[in-house]
Structure 1
Amino acid sequence: MSSAPSPLLLPDGRPAARAWTLDPALKHLNHGSFGAVPLAAQEEQQRLRAEMDRAPVVWFPALPGRVAAARAVVADFLRVDVRDLALVPNASAGASVVYGSLPYRPGGEVLVTDHGYGAVTMGAERLARRWGGTVRTARVPLYSGAEEAAAAVLSEVTDRTALIVLDHITSATARWLPVEQIGTAARESGIPLLIDGAHVPGLAEDPLAGLEFDVWVGNLHKFGCSPRGASALVVRSELRDSLYPLIDSWAAEAAFPERFDTQGTIDATSYLAAPTALAFIEQTWGWKAARGYLHELADYAERIIGAAFAELTGASAAVDVGMPVNALRLVRLPDGLAGTRLEADALRDRVAAELGVEAAFTSFNGIGYFRLSTHVYNNAADFEHFAERCVPVLVEWARKARAAAR
């Protein structure tokens, strides 16, 4: 049985949360959705914006070189070749780059899973419509391990499959997918593979080691804590020659990835400040120690919150997740809550407004879940508060919802 880990502290002994500007009147238990930017990175981005606005005619011509320097730091963090990496605003933008650049495949199918991120799946559907084809959805049981999950995806491959879109870590269901096995099979079959690794940077030491894929995209602004609007797009196939940024600019004739370094007059300070965020975690605690803490805290939070629900409902709230994530976990909600994505989003908003907690609620196959996520600024007391104060209210809301539905 997991025990509560000791909270992380800053070098001067203050709680880790003091390095962030999060509202102390709220409990922040949902780092996984939008991240949280440490003050050091906020100040660096503000300094960069001030520099940009003092002399824009000096700033913008020099900007591509500065973006390239930031790319090199990100590539080192992800342990990939800098020549394979471009910077994009977010993982969905990276997916859109792929969707907008792939050659026309009349009648081609795009293969996704039922765990896919909604916006990325919507983009796949739009691509399939342009091709006059369809989206094919692989059903992957939540409890499935690597072999079963890979088999479920690969069983849906047909001679019309023109692209596979696969989550590295799933958003709604907080699990890894077996990208290694599927990537190898896709490469052998000559099918392009796009991996949505939105949550991955920061949660794995060497996340792309040994992977076969065409394009991988990952957000730096989630667990990497960079300012929002900074993500990595990594390409490991000849597809790089056909990938172009969403905005055509003066570097359009440059090679990959340099053509992504010039994007007109966009505010690229999130790219430039990302190295500050990555370095802050490394220099303060070290990424390896931070990941260990996130894992221990998630173990503890999952256990006490699940136990709190079970005590009040008489039913287990434990979720059998086949390939669980170190910092993301699911706890089943009582029937009547978050049965759909819209209901889950409404519950998120209500919990924030009425209970003072920023939390994530998700839905999968008609079942609602509390998706907890941890970061270095969280501590055991945050999740104890949720178990003691919020769980009883959620159980009562579920009871009323079921009664109203009768």
Structure 2
Amino acid sequence: MSETQVVTAPGPLLLSDGRPAAAAWSLDPGMLHLNHGSFGAVPLVAQQRQSELRDEMERAPVAWFPRQPARLAAARAEVARFLRADAGDLALVPNASAGASVVYAALTARPGGDVVVTDHGYGAVTMGAARLARRWGARVRTAHVPLAADADQACRAVLDEVDDRCALVVLDQITSATARRLPVERVGAELARRGVTLLVDGAHAPGLLPAPLDGLACDAWVGNLHKWGCAPRGTAALVARGPLREHLRPLIDSWSADEPFPLPFDQQGTLDATGMLAAPTALAFVEDAWGWQAARRYLDELADYGAHVVAAALAGSSAAAPVADVGMPVPGMRLVRLPDGLGATRVAADALRDRATAELAAEAAFTSFDGVGYLRLSAHVYNTPADYERFADACVPVVLDWARRARSSA
């Protein structure tokens, strides 16, 4: 989006009875909710469905738990249809990081086999890769992908780190801190040719991408349903299609431990799986209310407008263009550069997040990359143009004051 481009506000989405979309959620109207991408937000119908399931479980737990595996199998079949995947290739896990941990535990030890990650990787998943490398007595090699790198440049940056010592590549489909895509399809095709294992972290992909697994060659893929899919927290998918799948086991052994993938994931002792069972309700709600295709279009138009409005309010606060060029943008997410002196590290960015919540009544994502702080805007159907106008008018002046104070005390 160029600085001179005219950006118009999309009309807010409404429910079938004419109420605003936000009426279908229980979000505090006194807060600005501009950070759906971190923890999601669960519509009331899915909250109600989970409560009904939990009540059923608590009324007769001895009847509930023997039947839970079959119910989970039915739920993952619906999730698989949403992702356009095969239900036999998909297991339900608590979150993308948990799915990555399952993959790390299943990999055959490769003493000295290097692990390649990128500097856009999600911290917890990268930490797990580093722990795996230590067990193998190997190195973690970080591919440095410039923020504005296009598909060719990003692909080259990753593959330049892959040599004969490389045993595993961990690559984000959509990056968390920098709100961009990485060319997982192209990298995956080349790694398959070379026989190198690929784990794709698709935490943000379900809901944002219509078919995140289409054309993707990888050994394992993980994606959160509790982000853009609006499922209850603790609901994610782990998809495996190659030989690795037969070695994947949940981190909790139970009575299905000897069954083939994905059946062991359907039975994990007394795990409260009501969130997973309510996930199809959340996915169906968005489809029935607006259709996922229309929802994604709205998210993208709204993110464009939000970035335009917030960037205009921040104009002149840094030497660089306020709306960051991320090379391979994604629907519904934009990256706006913060004033110089703010959020230059992950710790500093997290502190800004907490301060904005406490002092501005605004839930917003502050991130950092390569020593620069950013505001990551992520929109969902309950957001409206007025949310971003309010943030620009009421919150940005305070953020600018924070920056001035930080620079004066430096």
Please tell me the TM-score bracket, short chain as reference: over 0.9
The equivalent of 1:163 in structure 2 is: 168
* 1:35 maps onto 2:35 in alignment: no
* 1:267 maps onto 2:272 in alignment: yes
For the residues of structure 2 that align with 1:33 and 1:215, how far apart are their CA atoms?
Answer: 22
For the residues of structure 2 that align with 1:322 and 1:385, how far apart are their CA atoms?
Answer: 28
**Identical positions, percent:** 66
* 1:376 maps onto 2:410 in alignment: no
Check whether the contact 2:318–2:338 (CA below 8 A) recurs between aligned residues.
no
Shift of 1:314: 7.6
For the residues of structure 2 that align with 1:333 and 1:102, how far apart are their CA atoms?
Answer: 40
* 1:316 maps onto 2:306 in alignment: no
For the residues of structure 2 that align with 1:114 and 1:261, how far apart are their CA atoms?
Answer: 34
* 1:330 maps onto 2:330 in alignment: no
* 1:206 maps onto 2:211 in alignment: yes
The equivalent of 1:147 in structure 2 is: 152
Shift of 1:311: 5.2
Letter in 2 for 1:330: L
Task: Identify the range of structure 1 (204-213 vs 59-68) with the bigger mean alpha-carbon deviation.
Answer: 204-213
When residues 314 and 238 of structure 1 are mapped into structure 2, their CA distance, relative to the original with a 3 A threshold, is closer
Shift of 1:337: 0.5
1:158 counterpart SS class: coil
Where does structure 1 lack aligned partners over 5 or more consecutive residues?
none
The equivalent of 1:52 in structure 2 is: 57
For the residues of structure 1 that align with 2:246 and 2:331, how far apart are their CA atoms?
Answer: 35
For the residues of structure 2 that align with 1:103 and 1:312, how far apart are their CA atoms?
Answer: 50
Deviations 1:69-105 (A, max 9, x none): 0010000000011111000000000000011111111
* 1:276 maps onto 2:278 in alignment: no
Check whether the contact 2:10–2:302 (CA below 8 A) recurs between aligned residues.
yes
Residues matched between the structures, number: 405
Check whether the contact 1:193–1:214 (CA below 8 A) recurs between aligned residues.
yes
For the residues of structure 2 that align with 1:200 and 1:294, how far apart are their CA atoms?
Answer: 14
For the residues of structure 1 that align with 2:309 and 2:387, how far apart are their CA atoms?
Answer: 11
Letter in 2 for 1:246: L
1:93 counterpart SS class: helix
Letter in 1 for 2:164: D
Letter in 2 for 1:155: D
For the residues of structure 2 that align with 1:386 and 1:395, how far apart are their CA atoms?
Answer: 12
For the residues of structure 2 that align with 1:293 and 1:349, how far apart are their CA atoms?
Answer: 28
Check whether the contact 2:317–2:339 (CA below 8 A) recurs between aligned residues.
no
Which of 2, 5, 14 in structure 1 is aligned with 2:7? 2
For the residues of structure 2 that align with 1:270 and 1:232, how far apart are their CA atoms?
Answer: 13
Letter in 2 for 1:4: A
1:232 counterpart SS class: strand
For the residues of structure 1 that align with 2:226 and 2:309, how far apart are their CA atoms?
Answer: 28
The equivalent of 1:91 in structure 2 is: 96
1:202 counterpart SS class: helix
1:201 counterpart SS class: helix
Shift of 1:313: 6.0
Shift of 1:312: 5.9
Shift of 1:316: 3.1
For the residues of structure 1 that align with 2:179 and 2:358, how far apart are their CA atoms?
Answer: 25
For the residues of structure 1 that align with 2:145 and 2:236, how far apart are their CA atoms?
Answer: 27
Quote the RMSD (CA, aligned, Å): 0.9
* 1:404 maps onto 2:409 in alignment: yes
Task: Identify the range of structure 1 (60-69 vs 383-392) with the bigger mean alpha-carbon deviation.
Answer: 383-392
The equivalent of 1:290 in structure 2 is: 295
Letter in 1 for 2:155: A
Which of 71, 78, 94 in structure 2 is aligned with 1:73? 78
The equivalent of 1:181 in structure 2 is: 186
The equivalent of 1:245 in structure 2 is: 250
Give structure 1 regions of 4+ aligned residues with deviation exceeding 6 angstroms.
none
* 1:120 maps onto 2:121 in alignment: no
The equivalent of 2:195 in structure 1 is: 190
* 1:23 maps onto 2:22 in alignment: no
TM-score normalised by the chain length of structure 2: 0.98
1:329 counterpart SS class: strand
For the residues of structure 2 that align with 1:185 and 1:269, how far apart are their CA atoms?
Answer: 39
Check whether the contact 1:125–1:135 (CA below 8 A) recurs between aligned residues.
yes
2:142 counterpart SS class: strand
When residues 314 and 236 of structure 1 are mapped into structure 2, their CA distance, relative to the original with a 3 A threshold, is closer
2:152 counterpart SS class: helix
Letter in 2 for 1:170: T
Letter in 2 for 1:395: L
Deviations 1:289-333 (A, max 9, x none): 000000000010111111110056686312111001111110000
Check whether the contact 1:215–1:234 (CA below 8 A) recurs between aligned residues.
yes
Letter in 1 for 2:364: A
Deviations 1:20-66 (A, max 9, x none): 00001100000000000000000000000000000000000000000
For the residues of structure 2 that align with 1:318 and 1:312, how far apart are their CA atoms?
Answer: 12
Letter in 1 for 2:244: L
Letter in 2 for 1:168: Q
When residues 366 and 314 of structure 1 are mapped into structure 2, their CA distance, relative to the original with a 3 A threshold, is closer
The equivalent of 1:101 in structure 2 is: 106
For the residues of structure 2 that align with 1:332 and 1:288, how far apart are their CA atoms?
Answer: 29
Where does structure 2 lack aligned partners over 5 or more consecutive residues?
1-5
TM-score normalised by the chain length of structure 1: 0.99
For the residues of structure 1 that align with 2:316 and 2:43, how far apart are their CA atoms?
Answer: 37
